[in-house]
Amino acid sequence: MDRIELDNLLPGVFSGREHIVSDVWCRKQVFEKGKSYLIEAASGTGKSSLCSFIYGYRKDYEGVIRFDGTDIRKMSGNEWTDVRKRNLGMMFQELRLFPELTAGENVILKNNLTHFRDEEQIRKWFSMLGIDDKWAEPVGRMSFGQQQRVAFVRMLCQPSDFLFMDEPVSHLDDANGNVMAKILEGEIRERGVGVIVTSIGRRLNINYNVEMKL
């Protein structure tokens, strides 16, 4: 996948509102593979909804979303399965980890489905992010910031053309946020992925091609 197009997109809950000031809602916007985008937003303006619309979890929106020219409302279940297997990686704000599984198991479970990384690389990322000692720790016993780092590594085990990250550093200190940024910039450089990051204040410190307000 090379392009994601938003054409006059608007969450259904905002329908009928006047004077919406946004770089995303009610506009034409294009995300291109290989470029990085920052979407800054106040709480309650729909950034998490945007991620769910693009990932196909929710359809309560007006307007059109297209993947390489195809309206996603017209995609079949099998087509969505293929897109999520090959084209989209997502780090949701609520993370969606399995709390009863260990940090390592949460990531290996994903990687056993994709066979995209080797365990040596995964453990290297754990070490870089300061959670190598949490490999065998149940996620439910970890802080939210530690869980964010686990979810980030899990996302990297997904083949993808685009990576969506909803407030990825909200609970991280600057040091771990900078490590995450370094790893992500390596993925952009080596794999040519497109990256879309949302923020309500603390931004992931990478070089963005486009910055916009929601």
Count of domains observed in the chain: 1
Rg of the chain, C-alpha, whole Å: 17
pLDDT-based confidence at residue 19 (cuts at 50, 70, 90): confident
- DSSP secondary structure string for all residues of 77-117: HHHHHHHHHHTEEEE-TT----TTSBHHHHHHHHHHHH--S
Identify the pLDDT of residue 184: 96
Segment 2-20 shows an average pLDDT of 92
- Full-model pTM: 0.94
Backbone angles phi, psi at 184, to 5 degrees: -65, -40
pLDDT in tens, 109-158: 999 999 999 999 999 999 999 999 999 999 999 999 999 999 999 999 99
Residue 209's domain is classified under what CATH number? 3.40.50.300
What is the domain extent for residue 13? 3-213
